[in-house]
Amino acid sequence: MSKQASRYNLCDVNNSCLIIIDVQAKLSSSMEENAISDLRKNTDILLKAANQLAVPIIATAQYPKGLGPVEDFITNQLNEASKSYEKTQFSCLGIEELSEYLTQTKKKQIILTGIEAHICVLQSAIDFMAEGYEVFVVTDAIASRKSKSYQTALLRLNSAGVSLLTTESVLFEWLRDAANPDFKALSKLIV
C-alpha cells in the first residue's frame, strides 16, 4: 500500500472499514453527557449502515479488565463477519491481528469513531496514515472527557492530513446516489 494516501477522496463503500474504538461503559461514563449521547446515536447509525452495506466492522476494547466490555449497543450489532479485539496500546495498530485482518480485507479506507479523541482515536488515525491508509474521523462520533482535548485532537488530526467528516457525510458518501437501492432505508436513519 502506498505510504502517501490522498485526504480528498470520498468514502467508498467498497473500500471502507468501520473501526469503533474503545466505547466502553467506564470510559463513556466520564464523557460529557451531550458528547457521549451524540457518539452513541451516530455510532449506532454507522453500525446499521455498515451492516446494510456490508462494510467490515471492527470494535476494540482498551484494557477491558479495568474498563469493562464494549457497550451493548455496539456488540448487539456485530455480526459473524465483524471483528473484536482487546488492547492495551493506545493505537489500534498495536493489535497485530487487527493489522493482519485489514491486510486480508484489502480495504484502503479507515472510518474511525470512538473514545478518546485525543488519545486512542488520534494515535490510531496517525498510525493508519503512516501505513498508507486513507483515514476518516467521524467528528460527531468521537468524544473526549474535556472539550479542549476534543478540539485539540481535531486540529492535530486535520494538520496530519486526516479527513474530518460527520456521520451524515459518511452515509451519503457510501450511498453516492439517491437511486441506490439502500438509499430509502438508510436515509431514514438521519433525523
pLDDT by residue for the chain (191 residues), tens digit each?
444 455 579 999 999 999 999 999 999 999 999 999 999 999 999 999 999 999 999 999 999 999 999 999 999 999 999 999 999 999 999 999 999 999 999 999 999 999 999 999 999 999 999 999 999 999 999 999 999 999 999 999 999 999 999 999 999 999 999 999 999 999 999 97
Tell me if 98 sits within 8 A of 83, measured CB to CB: yes
CATH of region 19-187: 3.40.50.850
pLDDT value of residue 8 = 72
Helix axis angle, 147-159 to 122-130, nearest 10°: 10
- Coil/strand/helix, residue 83: strand
Sign of torsion over alpha carbons 109, 121, 2, 159:
positive
